[in-house]
């Protein structure tokens, strides 16, 4: 039976996805890894549309970690060019669909052309409110926390923040995800069961789902299968 979205009881408000397995998908077919990335990028567009139609409010894609710079230069160059083209080609469509585009990570170090595409898209879609799509690119969870700490210390030194006011809520305001709820559900494809330096602070209470499906093979059916396993986390206070 084909599952349709209305049959699902619970849809995560904030869904985060680690798109893993592009390289293996290509290698198994005797293709260069780059083809896996290209097909994987198409799946990101398809799944974004399905999420928007299902009522997901925030969708966060992990597409390039700080650690990924250690890969072959040719693969990294291919990925950077793919991101440039991907964001440029997608801009009009996400704008029309009411999606607000955000980049999470470090802009410095990225090709200027990519920074331009990111900034133009962020600016163009900033008043859209159907869904937020975060593209997590050149990102490290540890670096994000250190960066937040620097900003907090600076604000304390400048008397903009009192030490007594530093708590989990104010700390949130210094993260790239400031103003956004934490992910409710995390999907990682390709069978790996690792966080890989992704949203270390924000995932503290997130339900984690892994599937052996390699990212380029991931379809809407796989998404709905994952949603079936999602159980909203409800805090129970005793005493």
In the complex with ligand IPE, the residue whose CB is nearer, 62 or 161, is 62
Q: Which of 3, 8, 13, 24 binds ligand IPE (CB under 6 A)?
A: 24
Minimum separation from the CB atom of position 22 to Mg ion (A): 7
Q: Catalytic annotation on 68?
A: yes
Dist CA 29 CA 31 (whole Å): 5
Q: Is 177 in the site for ligand IPE (CB under 6 A)?
A: no
Report how many residues bind ligand IPE under the rule CB under 6 A: 17
Q: Which of 12, 16, 22, 211 binds ligand IPE (CB under 6 A)?
A: 22
Question: Token pair for residue 43?
Answer: 């799946």
Q: Is 192 in the site for ligand IPE (CB under 6 A)?
A: yes
Which helix (H) or strand (E) element contains residue 185? strand 185-188
Report how many residues bind Mg ion under the rule CB under 5 A: 1
Backbone angles phi, psi at 99, to 5 degrees: -90, 135
- Of 88-96, 102-110, 117-125, 192-200, the window that binds ligand IPE (rule: CB under 6 A) is 192-200
Minimum separation from the CB atom of position 215 to ligand IPE (A): 6
For residue 20, the number of C-alpha atoms closer than 13 Å in the C-beta half-sphere is 21
Contact set for ligand IPE, span 1-20 (CB under 6 A): 18-20
Q: Is 65 in the site for ligand IPE (CB under 6 A)?
A: yes
Q: Which of 68, 128, 147, 207 binds ligand IPE (CB under 6 A)?
A: 68
**Residue that has been written with the tokens 């090709």 in this structure:** 111
Minimum separation from the CB atom of position 178 to ligand IPE (A): 22
Q: What, of Mg ion, ligand IPE, none, does residue 207 touch, CB below 5 to 8 Å by kind?
A: none
Q: Catalytic annotation on 20?
A: yes
Q: Give the residues across from 14 on adjacent strands.
A: 58
Q: Which of 11, 12, 18, 20 binds Mg ion (CB under 5 A)?
A: 20
Pair 156, 178: CB distance under 8 Å: no
Quote the DSSP letter at residue 88. H
Q: Is 62 in the site for Mg ion (CB under 5 A)?
A: no
**CA–CA–CA angle 142, 147, 152 (5° rounding):** 125
Q: How many C-beta atoms surround the C-beta of residue 82 within 10 A?
A: 18
**CA–CA–CA angle 138, 45, 43 (5° rounding):** 85
Question: Token pair for residue 54?
Answer: 């299902």
Minimum separation from the CB atom of position 216 to ligand IPE (A): 9
**Residue that has been written with the tokens 């299968």 in this structure:** 225
Picking from 174, 98, 116, the residue whose alpha carbon sits closest to that of residue 143 is 174
Q: Which residues bind Mg ion (CB under 5 A)?
A: 20
* Catalytic residue numbers, as ranges: 20, 68
Residues that bind ligand IPE (CB under 6 A): 18-24, 62-65, 68, 79, 190, 192, 194, 196
């Amino acid at each position: 039976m084909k599952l349709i979205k209305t049959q699902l009881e619970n849809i995560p408000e904030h869904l985060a996805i680690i798109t893993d397995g592009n390289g293996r998908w290509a290698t198994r077919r005797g293709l260069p890894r780059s083809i896996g990335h290209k097909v994987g990028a198409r799946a990101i567009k398809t799944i974004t549309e399905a999420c928007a139609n299902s009522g997901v409010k925030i969708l966060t894609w992990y597409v390039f970690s700080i650690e990924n710079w250690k890969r072959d230069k040719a693969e990294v160059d291919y990925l950077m060019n793919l991101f440039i083209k991907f964001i440029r080609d997608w801009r009009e469509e996400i704008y029309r669909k009411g999606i607000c585009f955000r980049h999470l990570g470090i802009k410095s170090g990225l090709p200027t052309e990519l920074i331009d595409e990111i900034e133009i898209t962020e600016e163009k879609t900033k008043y859209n409110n159907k869904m937020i799509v975060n593209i997590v690119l050149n990102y490290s969870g540890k670096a994000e926390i250190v960066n937040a700490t620097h900003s907090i210390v600076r604000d304390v030194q400048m008397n903009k923040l009192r030490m007594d006011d530093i708590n989990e809520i104010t700390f949130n305001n210094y993260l790239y995800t400031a103003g956004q709820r934490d992910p409710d559900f995390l999907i990682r494809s390709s069978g790996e069961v690792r966080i890989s330096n992704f949203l270390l602070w924000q995932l503290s209470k997130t339900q984690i789902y892994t599937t052996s499906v390699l990212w380029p093979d991931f379809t809407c059916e796989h998404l709905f299968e994952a949603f079936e396993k999602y159980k909203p986390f409800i805090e129970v206070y005793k005493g």
